[in-house]
Structure 1
């Protein structure tokens, strides 16, 4: 009886505390449980969404290989609209535009490229998009791009006047307004830069004069450019940028590859050393990052010794990521000497080999994962970049030492494109032994187009 009274007293004394704990549990624990229940599925959903995006992207690329443009466009469009935040959304937009272009759907291609340039201004696909915009400009009626009532240069011949409405100009200029006269000079009649800043009228005239002088007397024009690019020059930032962009215009070069210039006159081979020397000196004295980037792109167009200079510059850039990014972007199949109007037939193959080799070295040794990814992306735009057992061996070793799973997926896809026996062997090894199910599945999927009896037997054994 005594024990029972003691028990009742104990319960009576502890009941308020137990009640408070119970109320706290009811109020707080369900919220924590709910938060956990909500957050975990979201993470899984995001992963599933990216996997589905990747699947549609791969299917689109496969359809491109089969030249089924309409079906490929549908795949890329579905991936972009359903998962606009996909990690490769910029690449998907580019390939969507590519498929539209192949079907002569130039307006749709232009729209896709505009979305790419607007949403992903720092993407490594920007240069490719700008090139394609140049390619589709003529079918869209954008042969020249002058202000209303402005006399434009057509094919390098002045005196031909044309009135061009804003609807017939290339989108991408500031505020999407009609491009100024200078753009018909700097981009061969097409505005392709996503962030052009309009020049004032005086600077437009200076650009026109520079373009004409460059055709008439390249040596004097290069010397004039050197004065404009001096650190103590009174020239505006935009004027300096546009002077450098003139050098990258197709109409301003004369190559032995084609035997004639786009406009009938331009910079001859004999003036390239002076141009290179002027650009290097200007870069060394320049502190403005925008101008330095433009100089890098102009130098990359010259090839030969300029490539060596940029390689040394990359090595000394240390932690200057923006300069390193500019150098990497200058080495790709569209903006570098591999596609340069200053490169001569005898040097093109050698320049391509040097540039792709440099990008491969960055992929192998660079510690910054963002720079490595950028270099790897640009490297894969070179034709036959993966030829040679040494390259495949390097990729295999890089895969084994790489901690970043997403980058490993890029390597798997590159091995799949290589179509070499050594690459196939590595893919089978990954599919069989990798600790990551995601990477195993990626490797297995990469083997889907192989007709190699060994691969077919391997896949069959996985099923058993």
Structure 2
């Protein structure tokens, strides 16, 4: 190649490049290749945006975890408080049972323990302690206990009962109560009950005397029952006064129960008035249970919607479940924002036997914890449909905890066949282990056969 040719070729190349540079952008792209170029500044901006997005996600996740922890702590605190209340109530009920069985020494010891714990039943515990001491013939001790009640709880609704008991103690000889005394009380009540059938006007004042006096709790409850069974307006009026709190809280709650059991629309109106005016949560709980006994969907729904006290809302929701108020529960579930309350509604669907709505929540609920609650409740419903839904959920689910909840639901159903099928096919070792663990507790032939099969491998 001559030098001239070389120069000409080089010149031609430079001319081609120059032509491309002067050509339109599209032509340059075809000629030189469309190589995407990004400045260092643009790259940094993109990285900064990614970092900010990641930080935002981390902050949101951190906030969610803190909120979850807070909710768990609050739930644990509520559960501890509820456990304490239940322990106190159990001790109180045990003491009352001892009174009914004439075990006055045991009753006095339990009521002393309860009074010393300074719980909500302390005033009632002091009254029944004094009552038991009087029955044991411990006159001075009983009077001292009554004085303690008056001093510590001057506004207590047990003051009237304590006054009647004090009069009886001071008039007594200080001797222990005899079985004949109890028989006399029972005999008197039988006579009064007979009078109610023949001459209720004469019997009603006698019943009131038993209720307002210092009779045993069992006899007072019987007198109230006789009163509630009467259909007379006077008897209903007396029962209404007791339900409004004219006597001690024990009798008030019992009157509320009997109004729900024996009363009609007027009785439910009385209960509604008491509910609106009472500040005693235990009385309100009793009224909600009476609404359930009377099948009063409307008032239960109203309490479930508007009650400010969460424990009362939960009670109303539970009672709605027991009266099969599924349409009301569905309305509540759609509008409720509290996960805890929604979980209670799912439990109420179970109480109502509404597997259909539980299936909907188990499949479509966005909140994972609520889905798990729905699945758990489905496990308590033994039906082919619920089993099929659980199978469908398990096959599609990716969340490990939800799948574990399905296994637990199968266990609750006693569905060994489904657990064996999963244990055979599951690739996840932890889930397989969970399925096998559940099978080991079920004592079913199908499950046992599979376990033996595993041992032989």
**The TM-score by the shorter chain falls in which range?**
0.3 to 0.5
| Structure ID, larger Rg | 2
Q: TM-score, normalised by structure 1?
A: 0.43
Q: TM-score, normalised by structure 2?
A: 0.44
Higher helix share: 2
Q: Which has the higher contact order (CA 8 A, sep 6+)?
A: 1
